[in-house]
Amino acid sequence: MAQANAPRLAADPDWWRGAVIYQIYPRSYQDSNGDGIGDLRGIVQRLPYVASLGVDAIWISPFFTSPMRDFGYDVSDYCGIDPMFGTMADFDDVVATAHRLGVRVMIDLVLSHTSDQHPWFAESRRDHTNPRANWYVWADARPDGTPPNNWLSVFGGSAWAWDGKRMQYYLHNFLTSQPDLNLHEPAVQEALLDVERFWLARGVDGFRLDTINFYFADKLLRDNPALPPERRNDSIAPSVNPYNWQEHIYSKNQPENLDFLRRFRAELEPCGAAAVGEVGDAQRGLEIMAEYTSGGDKVQMCYPFELLQPTRATATLLAQAFDRLAAAAPDAWPCWSYSNHDTVRHVTRWGLSQDAARAYATLLMCLRGSVCLYQGEELGLAEADLAFDDLQDPYGIQFWPEFKGRDGCRTPMVWEPSNQAGGFSTGKPWLPVAPEHLAQSVAAQEADSGAMLHHYRNAVALRRDHPVLAQGAQSPMQVTGDVVQFTRGEGRDAILCLFNLGGTAAQHDLPAGWRPIGATVGAVAPDADGHLVLGPWQTCLMTRI
């Protein structure tokens, strides 16, 4: 039953279009009971801060019942709250409080796989004839006992694990404790849609769909072809992982997914809810995103990995990405992000100065599409450097030291600098707070009008004050050296955007008929003759006179 005192926000079927979504990793946001682990009550406590950023919605990473082998992305009960995070009443309070503050709530659904502790898997592995025998991807061994095909796990090694009870292999694209569901089975699809309906009834405004392109595997279980070295890309898995050596055309990205996404979208529409999918593919991510979001009948938005990869988004790479997207589907709707709980924070990953980080923050708010911000990004936090003994992430433990895992971006949020826990907890945090983060705490930055936090607030406000930045059309990007130039919208409301994404000054002559805007984000203006000098990492924003 939905909570009676948690009404939805005003109906707006297009609220997601151009929305700014703030990701909360609940283990690391705010601990309310001193056990060192963030929780739902902690989120309630900090929602006024979130609302002060001006964002439209929050996305909360999984808080469902789980053995926590992958920290909640291994679900053992889709409709239960893990006790470490609180209760269903606490979740209802999150929704009610967020809605009172004008913020929508999206939650993270992990539909491609479950935990091996889920009752569905316990029944499925029992024998070959039980009612859920076909709910997971099972396959016989080859005659020599080896796995059914050459598919690899994102977390390293074969994507197949042997189960001595069924005397078969089961598919796991991630940890061996995360068996993949078989969405070719109609009952599985219906069970997952029931999960969607359950949370919609509790008042959520939408979902982030984990690994959305992994829902279906090839029915024939054909081998993936090898990927030539020159086409390898480590945006999905670290370079030390042979997962990058295959072209994953059979283990994911299957055409059957489109009909399931249409069914999922049909449940969202009556509630005015929306979904954003994570497209994990290093070669065709943009094209898959376009396929999944075009036509108005599948998910509303997806994010690919073009701005999440190790290579900095230069002016040229940015223009190439938008050209590919336009060619794939002009009506596709991306959701852009630089950082999240799975990637090295972009300030570190791209080696950004504070000026560069500000330029990229403003750029993000000017791009066509929706936006995801990751907690702490608004503080300019860099990746935390943890000792091996402090690691919790099995991915990092597996590939240490060449790859240090995801814990460095998951360390606790820093609220104030007075103790080693940064105001996150009165106990020992589950991951250590980086000492260098304390000086960048929310309290310290609130008191400094020139701090990164205020820049992010101003950038979000700029997008809100100029709706064309959120929902308007975008012209093809023009690149001159390190400067990228494009226009958002048309006619009187159009905004001309120029960004110098490099360390060398550049000169431009701008056409007449424009006036400068964006002083709050440090945008510079041309002189009276339209001559513009863009210093390193500077921005120019103009609107029609």
Domains and CATH numbers, the chain: 20-114+186-464 (3.20.20.80), 473-544 (2.60.40.1180)
pTM for this prediction: 0.97
CA angle 428, 58, 103 (to 5 degrees): 120
Which residues does residue 277 pair with via DSSP β-bridges, in sequence order? 209, 302
Query: What are the residues whose beta carbons fall under 8 Å from the beta carbon of 462, sequence distance 6 or more?
Result: 362, 365, 469, 517, 518, 520, 521, 541
Which residues does residue 479 pair with via DSSP β-bridges, in sequence order? 484
| Residue 62: other Cβ atoms inside 10 A | 25
Alpha-carbon span 27 to 39, nearest angstrom: 6
Burial class (CB in 10 A: 0-12, 13-18, 19+), 333: buried
Q: Residues 114-147: pLDDT tens digits?
A: 999 999 999 999 999 999 999 999 999 999 999 9
Q: What is the pLDDT of residue 233?
A: 85
- List b or e across 23-50, with b for residues whose CB sees 16 or more CB atoms inside 10 angstroms: bbbbbbbbbbeeebbbbbbbbbbbbeeb
Query: What are the residues whose beta carbons fall under 8 Å from the beta carbon of 183, sequence distance 6 or more?
Result: 111, 189, 192, 215, 216, 256, 257, 260
CB 470 within 8 A of CB 18: yes
Q: What is the pLDDT of residue 5?
A: 46
- CA-nearest of 108, 107, 100, 13 to 50 is 100
CB 372 within 8 A of CB 469: no
Evaluate the omega torsion of the peptide bond into residue 26 and state whether it is cis, within 30 degrees of 0.
no
Q: What is the pLDDT of residue 98?
A: 98
CA angle 316, 321, 327 (to 5 degrees): 125
CB 132 within 8 A of CB 120: yes
Which residues are catalytically annotated?
A: 210, 278
Q: For the chain, list residues with pLDDT below 70.
A: 1-7
Query: What are the residues whose beta carbons fall under 8 Å from the beta carbon of 169, sequence distance 6 or more?
Result: 138, 139, 140, 141, 147, 148, 160, 161, 162, 163
Token output for 217: 């595997």
| Residue 489: other Cβ atoms inside 10 A | 21
Q: Residues 443-455: pLDDT tens digits?
A: 999 999 999 999 9
